Amino acid sequence: MAKKTREPKLEHSDFSGEFEDGGVTVLVDIFRPAGTNGDWTLEVISQTEVVTSWEDKFATDLDAWEEFLATAERDGVQSFLDEDEDEPQLH
């Protein structure tokens, strides 16, 4: 009988959730392995399921949130909608 691989449990930041600007809504997901003091991962998922992931991890969930806000301010929320490749986008 094959062993089932368990997905690690994740702790999601209070900053995670939907973000809307100019009629464009994305899901901001800031998470880390549950029960740890590990670094936070930042991903943004568009309504068409385009996933943008940051390669760098963040010491705090606030750092990740501020990076998302800075990117949205600089590039616009619509920048998370671009689907140039089949691979997830990396920042």
CA atoms of 11 and 44, how far apart (whole Å) = 16
**CB atoms closer than 10 angstroms to residue 44:** 24
Its domain, for residue 20, covers: 10-83
Confirm whether 25 is domain-assigned: yes
- pTM: predicted TM-score of the whole model, two decimal places: 0.82
Tens digits of residue pLDDT in 4-54: 667 779 999 999 999 999 899 999 999 999 999 999 999 999 999 999 999
Contact (CB, 8 A) for 10 and 32: yes
Confirm whether 91 is domain-assigned: no
Domain count, the chain: 1
Tens digits of residue pLDDT in 43-80: 999 999 999 999 999 999 999 999 999 999 999 999 99
